[in-house]
Amino acid sequence: MSTAVVTRVDDYEWHAVQDDQVVGRGEVWSRHDGRLFVSVDSWHEAVFDQLATAMLTDAPDLPRPLYTLVDASDPVEKSQWERFGFTAGRREWVCLVPTDPGVTGLDAAQPPSGVRVLPLGAAEKNPLRELDRVIRAEVEASVGWQEMPAEVLPRLDDATVVDPTKYAVAVDTATSDYVGLLRVAPVPRQPRIGLIAVRAGHQRRGIARALLAEVLEPLHRSGVRRVSAEINQTNTAAAALFDDIGAERAGTNLEVVLH
């Protein structure tokens, strides 16, 4: 079998060609938070090494740090990246969340006194953007953005809330301020809860449960049986909330980084 030839076909894309067939691809892309993520798609370990070498060693213009996600239960995948200097970072549980209110126990969940929940698509963009800014500032002042999911945008501009129809929000009825949000990514077959957050002064009142009840029950009626969610293993409050509604921990993602 001939050796693959690796070619950089674009600034952030590489192909490995063997016997006139593409046998592997490497890509680098920038997520919304500005971090660069790298991936190598190949069936053969030797081709993986060739692509990774071309991308990480022979491409001095590729900035650092670089990130990628691996299945924490797959030691082979993890070791492939470790050979090129990647080290372990944050871990996330991949959870499957039932939508049936009879299973989640959310059939009786109600927002606390003085709070009402707006369903998906009912939020106004400007108040939602303001809530987004406030929550981000609170997170940055506490655990910091390094503990947030990679998809959560850190910027404080129009791009932070691209599509308000993906959000359910909790509203303080006395002030009309938005105090909590839940974002759903409408992934085909299995929607994903991309973010659930409540302002610091309104936490531990059942708002997150009320947001989940508002979003999950209509999905159940539409035929969706489960949604997915990723939970940082250090976020004990979120883990307890999802455990309480019957979420199944289906796997673990490990983020590894090359500095």
Average pLDDT, the chain: 89
Domain ranges of the chain: 5-91, 94-252
The residues, ordered by sequence, that sit 6+ positions from 3 with a Cβ below 8 Å of its Cβ are: 18, 50
* CATH fold label, 94-252: Aminopeptidase (3.40.630)
Task: Name the 3-class secondary structure at 130.
Answer: helix
Per residue in 187-214, pLDDT (tens digit) is 767 899 988 999 999 999 999 999 999 9
Query: How far apart are the C-alpha atoms of 155 and 57, rounded to whole Å?
Result: 31
Superfamily name with CATH number, domain 5-91: Gcn5-related N-acetyltransferase (GNAT) (3.40.630.30)
CB-count exposure of residue 167 (10 Å: 0-12, 13-18, 19+): buried
For residue 75 the two structure tokens come to 């030691």
If one counts every other C-beta atom within 10 angstroms of the C-beta of residue 224, the result is 15
Residue spans of beta strands (DSSP E) within the chain: 5-10, 13-18, 21-30, 36-42, 66-71, 87-98, 115-118, 167-172, 178-185, 192-198, 226-232, 248-258
Question: With contact defined as beta carbons under 8 Å apart, do 4 and 18 qualify?
Answer: yes
Query: How far apart are the C-alpha atoms of 16 and 22, rounded to whole Å?
Result: 6
Per residue in 123-174, pLDDT (tens digit) is 999 999 999 889 888 887 776 555 555 444 444 444 556 688 999 999 999 9
Query: How far apart are the C-alpha atoms of 97 and 112, rounded to whole Å?
Result: 23
Query: How far apart are the C-alpha atoms of 207 and 181, rounded to whole Å?
Result: 9
**Hey, do 5-91 and 94-252 end up sharing a CATH topology, with the first three levels equal?**
yes
Per residue in 41-69, pLDDT (tens digit) is 998 999 999 999 999 988 878 899 999 99
Identify any residues that bridge with 13 across adjacent strands, giving them in sequence order: 10, 27
| b/e 231-258 (16+ beta carbons within 10 angstroms → b) | bbeebeebbebbeebebeeeeebbbbbb
